[in-house]
């Protein structure tokens, strides 16, 4: 440490203020043990005080053992016991941060497998894109034509959705697009039907426009459509391929019933197909939009199947809504990265996208099977598992006499971060707590450790 500077106040002598400031620096670890301090002359010059004032401050620090003088070499900081330093000077906020250690195992559902991500291929294609003249302009307001063409082909091949590329809108996230969509629909529709439990992020987007909600109950057996005929809303938001959060899928009979209802009501279905690629027991079901595209607004994204940070989502709009949407947002800039769009278009056109999805389906299936096996081995009949056929998380219904909050806090104390499902519920609440375990980014060894720690915490 060659010099320092700080302001003085008028309440105490300057030598004492210098002494207190250096004492604080040493105790908080800002000046390390054996570090050389400014000379008497340097300190006096930088603080605009006399050398005598600087000397008095140093002598007080020497007397209390904070520093030592070494002849002509100067003054050096002594080793100070850590407990004397950190505990006394940390604010309550910092103490709390210190005690919150990162979890040993984090069952988060908002991450993907990093070890199998095609980083080299993606980087190479991104570098190629940067050489294109198109990379040095603003993007198209509704998404780049090359990416919309690729998505159109992919949806037809994988989801049975036949659509023109011009009907596809590219956005940065499902929530962002639902907010825009809500702006278009709110004049014609004042209420909508949502699943209960259901994706709370979608509800937040629709609440932004003050939609009223009617609810469809969902449990492990599926969605209950029996109440549909008694409802007044003509707009419905559903996750039919992998219900969020329960994980069940709509049967073909339920899908046909829903299409029949929406045609009779002359309304719209908003189909969120957020991770339909990852079904492990059989092939993915065809999308609702493949049955009748005239009254289905199809929403998809690349967050679960590729990379959350890429911020790429899309929706397919029926003709009746498409014109209104394009008119309303024609003068808005694109909300997602032009470079990401061009790179993803290249990635899909090369065939790498299909190879990536097939590869990750096998990777995630192996992890899901391992998680289910470990849960059965460690917990037996004290839990029930929900949603093991598809998706990137598993729900466990815990048959112990403890609340959801207790289970989460107890797990945290053992170094395991798990998540509640209560935010998804509206009226259809369950007495038995259901915990969400995301596994996509974890190795099989981490899954084993996490489940074993949960057993220690809960049993």
Tell me, yes or no, whether 141 lies in a domain.
yes
| DSSP state at residue 2 | -
Q: Tell me how far CA of residue 361 lies from CA of 110, 273, 278, 395, in angstroms.
A: 17, 16, 6, 19
Q: Which of 112, 171, 167, 129 is nearest to 347 (CA)?
A: 129
Q: What is the CATH number of the domain that holds 400?
A: 3.90.1150.10
Strand pairing report for 212-219 and 191-196: parallel
CB 26 within 8 A of CB 77: yes
Residues 195 and 322 grouped into a single domain: yes
E strand or H helix at 326:
helix 319-328
Q: Tell me how far CA of residue 211 lies from CA of 152, 187, 320, 343, in angstroms.
A: 30, 10, 21, 37
Residues 135 and 184 grouped into a single domain: yes
* pLDDT of the residue at 100: 60
Domain end: 316, 334, 351, which one?
351
Residues 303 and 415 grouped into a single domain: no
Q: Which of 336, 438, 334, 352 is nearest to 395 (CA)?
A: 438
Tell me, yes or no, whether 306 lies in a domain.
yes
Residues 447 and 383 grouped into a single domain: yes
Q: What is the pLDDT along the chain (459 residues), one digit of tens a residue?
A: 777 887 888 878 899 899 988 988 888 888 888 999 999 999 988 898 999 899 989 989 888 888 999 888 899 999 876 544 444 444 445 544 444 678 899 999 988 898 899 999 999 999 999 999 988 988 899 999 999 999 999 999 989 999 999 999 999 999 999 999 999 999 999 999 999 999 999 999 999 999 999 999 999 888 999 989 999 999 999 999 989 999 899 988 999 999 999 999 999 999 999 878 888 887 767 899 999 889 999 999 998 888 888 899 999 999 999 999 999 999 999 989 999 999 999 999 999 999 999 999 999 999 999 999 999 999 999 999 999 988 999 999 999 999 999 999 999 999 999 999 999 999 988 889 999 999 999 999 999 999 999 999 999
Residues 320 and 243 grouped into a single domain: yes
Cα dihedral 171, 175, 180, 185, rounded to 10, equals 130
Number of domains in the chain: 3
Residues 347 and 389 grouped into a single domain: no
Q: What is the CATH number of the domain that holds 69?
A: 1.10.10.10
Cα–Cα dist 406/114, whole Å: 31
* pLDDT of the residue at 436: 97
Residues 73 and 157 grouped into a single domain: no
Tell me, yes or no, whether 189 lies in a domain.
yes
Tell me, yes or no, whether 2 lies in a domain.
no
Q: What is the CATH number of the domain that holds 127?
A: 3.40.640.10
CB 171 within 8 A of CB 314: yes
Tell me, yes or no, whether 95 lies in a domain.
no
* pLDDT of the residue at 110: 87
Domain end: 291, 324, 351, which one?
351
Tell me, yes or no, whether 98 lies in a domain.
no
What is the pTM assigned to this prediction? 0.77
Domain end: 351, 379, 399, which one?
351
* pLDDT of the residue at 88: 42
Residues 262 and 326 grouped into a single domain: yes
Residues 324 and 385 grouped into a single domain: no
CB 126 within 8 A of CB 339: yes
Tell me, yes or no, whether 296 lies in a domain.
yes
Domain that holds residue 211: 119-351
Contacts of 83 (CB under 8 A, 6+ apart): none
Residues 74 and 211 grouped into a single domain: no
Residues 165 and 295 grouped into a single domain: yes
Tell me, yes or no, whether 6 lies in a domain.
no
Residues 134 and 270 grouped into a single domain: yes
């Amino acid at each position: 440490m060659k010099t320092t500077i700080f302001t003085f106040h008028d309440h105490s002598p300057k030598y004492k203020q210098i002494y207190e400031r250096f004492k604080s620096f040493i105790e908080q670890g800002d000046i390390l043990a054996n570090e050389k301090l400014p000379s008497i002359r340097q300190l006096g010059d930088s603080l605009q005080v006399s050398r005598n004032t600087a000397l008095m401050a140093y002598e007080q620090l020497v007397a209390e053992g904070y520093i030592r003088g070494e002849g002509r070499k100067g003054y050096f900081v002594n080793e100070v016991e850590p407990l004397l330093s950190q505990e006394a000077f940390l604010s309550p906020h910092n103490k709390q941060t210190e005690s919150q250690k990162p979890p040993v195992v984090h069952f988060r559902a908002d991450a993907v497998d990093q070890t199998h991500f095609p980083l080299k291929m993606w980087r190479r294609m991104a570098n190629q894109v940067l050489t294109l003249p198109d990379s040095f302009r603003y993007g198209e307001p509704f998404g780049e034509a090359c990416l919309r063409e690729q998505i159109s082909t992919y949806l037809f091949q994988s989801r049975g959705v036949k659509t023109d590329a011009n009907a596809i809108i590219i956005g940065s996230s499902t929530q962002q697009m639902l907010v825009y969509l809500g702006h278009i629909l709110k004049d014609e529709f004042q209420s909508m039907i949502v699943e209960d439990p259901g994706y709370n992020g979608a509800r937040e987007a629709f609440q932004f426009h003050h939609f009223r909600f009617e609810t469809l109950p969902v449990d492990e057996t599926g969605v209950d459509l029996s109440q549909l005929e008694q409802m007044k809303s003509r707009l419905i938001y559903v996750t039919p391929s992998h219900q969020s959060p329960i994980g069940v899928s709509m049967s073909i009979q339920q899908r046909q019933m829903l299409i029949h209802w929406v045609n009779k009501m002359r309304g719209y279905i908003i189909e969120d197909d957020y991770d339909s690629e990852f079904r492990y027991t059989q092939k993915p079901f065809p999308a609702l939009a493949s049955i009748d595209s005239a009254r289905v607004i199809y929403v998809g994204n690349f967050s679960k199947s590729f990379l959350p940070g890429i911020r790429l989502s899309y929706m397919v709009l029926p003709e009746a809504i498409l014109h209104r949407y394009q008119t309303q947002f024609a003068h808005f800039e694109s909300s997602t990265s032009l470079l990401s769009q061009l790179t993803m278009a290249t990635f899909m056109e090369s065939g790498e996208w299909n190879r990536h999805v097939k590869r990750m389906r096998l990777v995630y299936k192996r992890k899901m099977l391992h998680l289910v096996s470990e849960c059965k081995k460690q917990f037996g009949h004290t839990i029930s598992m929900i949603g093991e056929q598809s998706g990137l998380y598993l729900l466990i219904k815990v048959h112990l006499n403890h609340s959801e909050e207790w289970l989460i806090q107890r797990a945290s104390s053992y170094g395991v971060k798990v998540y509640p499902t209560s935010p998804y519920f509206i009226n259809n609440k369950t007495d038995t707590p259901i915990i969400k375990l995301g596994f996509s980014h974890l190795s099989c060894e981490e899954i084993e450790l996490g489940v074993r720690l949960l057993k220690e915490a809960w049993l």
